[in-house]
A and B are shown apart, each in its own frame.
Chain A
């Protein structure tokens, strides 16, 4: 309950900075709304840019929360229970930002209602609608999965608070009964079991938005689903490591978040990152050995052309080196450096954003015509910065409102 009860003097300036960046983001979006997508670097040929990169990235972040939390619940990995809710909150915040990224990318968001009115007519053949359906289902289930098991803890918080705060928490507990815990526990187990396939389908349908387009080099392919899921789990898991390390430092949770948790997360992260590097290698082999000309040209742009700096930075500094560090750490029992683990995890998160960038942009821009050039404008950069700021704002606000660690054990007080 420490985050709910105590506020440091740095908290308000931090929130003010985040709010300021978010306000700039809102202004930039209003400029885009009133003048149209012409204020971005997008055009009739390069139809997707940083907004869609953000969308895939945020969807990716959202995966770790449920993956960790469901694994803790189903496999009874009690050691990792303290990070489960941190991860669930990340899922919720990043899913909200993913949805917002899609809205921002729309040229005419005022026509969003067509999603509802044309649903039955379009669901049969529109991968975009499959994706929106999966994301909406995932968002609804994630909020349920976060809220129901948290009722016990909200009751504890309500009892500790006074005045308007007590009333506020009272509202969050409609129909609360002392004997509901076993029923909720069973329900939470079923939610953990059923939310995992939805989680897999979310990123599979995200991948299908790209991989079902047969004329787009390096998008079209059967392995896109697993490839996207590996990226999602890697970036999501890495984000949870970063968040857990920061909160551990801020709230002195050394006893609640022991080094073993970071070792375990680091081990899984190293394996997922290694798998992802393997998939990148396989993709390049396929594109270069006998792929159609388009595949080869995009691969050339990645490896030796205008995107080579980004590609090799991602591959070496962003993925291979952090993976090597985590693997070395895994093979040296007793040696764990939480700060370094958090830093290499942050590097992986950043690398995964840029990896999404080179998945999307080169396929649309490689070809030589000036019409195919793409560079984000100030509006896109403001919205990009604002999106991350809004994510941090949502997360920090939730951190101050709900118990971020399950309070089953007394020392969590």
Chain B
């Protein structure tokens, strides 16, 4: 128990002491925290019941399409606004 506590204290210490912890940049922790609900959601979609492959496929396709739209929008924005320079 005391080892676990000291490990946690060490972890928190390294979190507040620098912008890295155990060699991992803090941003990666933020990324994990932000994206882990999405992973849980995808797992729940794939493994949960009642399940219907058509709906699962639709859900994943919709997520993928929205992601693609976002990336395309970023590039389109760069291109269109670039016409002004």
Q: List residues of chain A with CB under 8 Å of any chain B CB.
A: 30, 33-34, 103, 108-113, 115-116, 122-126, 129-130, 133-134, 136-137, 139-141, 143-144, 147-148, 174-175, 177, 179-180, 182-184, 186-187, 190-191, 194-195, 197-198, 201, 205
Contact = CB atoms under 8 A, between A and B. Distances in A.
B31 A133 contact: yes
A interface: dominant SS? helix
Interface string B37-74: 11011001100111110110111001100110011001
A157 B54 CA distance: 22
A144 B34 contact: no
A103 B77 contact: yes
Contacts of A205: 30, 34
Nearest to A222: B16
B45 to A, nearest CB: 6
Contacts of A108: 85
Contacts of B85: 108, 110
A126 B27 CA distance: 7
A110 B77 CA distance: 7
A180 B78 CA distance: 40
Given A112-B77, A144-B63, A194-B44, 14 more contacts: A103-B77, A111-B78, A116-B71, A116-B74, A124-B28, A130-B31, A136-B70, A139-B70, A144-B59, A148-B62, A180-B55, A186-B49, A190-B48, A198-B38
21 contacts: A110-B79, A110-B82, A110-B84, A111-B78, A113-B75, A123-B27, A123-B28, A124-B25, A125-B25, A129-B27, A130-B31, A133-B31, A133-B34, A134-B34, A137-B35, A144-B62, A147-B62, A174-B58, A186-B49, A197-B33, A198-B37
Given A123-B31, A124-B28, A187 B59 contact: yes
Q: Sort A-B residue pairs by CB-CB distance and give the 4 closest, nearest first.
A: A124-B25, A110-B82, A194-B37, A124-B27
Given A137-B34, A139-B70, A125 B26 contact: yes
Contacts of B78: 109-113
Contacts of B26: 124-125
B82 A197 contact: no
A139 B74 CA distance: 14
Nearest to A132: B74
